[in-house]
Amino acid sequence: MRVTLCFGGSILAPDLPDVDCIRETARVLRELKARRHELLVVVGGGRTARRYIGAARELKATHAYCDTIGIDATRLNARLLIAALGELAELNPITTFDGATRAMLRGKIPVMGGTVPGHTTDAVAAGLADASRSDLLVFFTDVDGVYTADPKLDPSAKKFEAMTSRQLLELVAGVKMKPGVTAIIDPIGAKIIDRSGIKTLVLGRQEVHRLQKILGGAGHSGTTVVPRERRGRGS
């Protein structure tokens, strides 16, 4: 199966880099690769991105400049996963969908951070899944699925076991896109998921080690985003 995986910075580097988690993630990726899955990976910037964006904002940097700093942070985290993957990955974070797809076809695991200002790595992962014709897109976040509201702010929020991509889009449509934005999936990413018709899973960090089973069809504790209408590849 061809799978695009997005690891939030909040998982791999919640405050400082979590070396054990990065090592475990690389182990899981290596195992999946050995089982002939084709993998493409995107890494988020987490708190490092937000801290640097916050500082740049205080220094009156433009939105675009703050975004660029955020992208730098995502690539910094991407480099740590690349270090853990060794020869399975390219030496540097890949910056284009084409480059990532070509690396995957060469048998590598391409690791991307962000690309251009104006969105988060959620949109990068959704775009990469579309561009690479992935069968599945998986987000690992510090929240274990999609909730009716942010469960950190609203204890009565309920988790969706399954939802359509249109429901996801409606849920996040009101989120304002500013540097360092926090939403379970950013609205641009949700829009790409909706139009591409790619099946998507939103999972918590505790599911990373179960990924192989989940790809094999086992249940999970997160949210399945079901394509509104399954469109053929390339349509």
55, 66 Cβ separation under 8 angstroms: no
Q: Give the per-residue contact string, 57-96, with ligand UTP (x = CB under 6 A; - = no).
A: ---------xx--xx--x----------------------
> Rounded to whole angstroms, how far apart are CA atoms 233 and 210?
28
Query: Using CA atoms, how far apart are residues 141 and 144, in angstroms rounded to an integer?
Result: 7
Which C-beta is closer to ligand UTP: that of 120 or that of 200? 120
Segment 171 to 200, residues that bind ligand UTP, using CB under 6 A: 179-182
Do the Cβ atoms of 48 and 76 come closer than 8 Å? yes
Distances 50 to 26, 37, 105, 126 between C-alpha atoms, Å: 25, 33, 33, 21
Residues binding ligand UTP: what is the number (CB under 6 A)?
27
Query: Judged by CB under 6 A, does residue 46 bind ligand UTP?
Result: yes
Determine the residue with CB nearest ligand UTP: 70
- Measure the CA–CA gap between 185 and 138, rounded to whole angstroms: 11
Which one, 33 or 63, has the nearer CB to ligand UTP?
63
Q: Where do contacts with ligand UTP occur on this chain (CB under 6 A)?
A: 8-10, 44-46, 49, 53, 66-67, 70-71, 74, 114-122, 124, 179-182
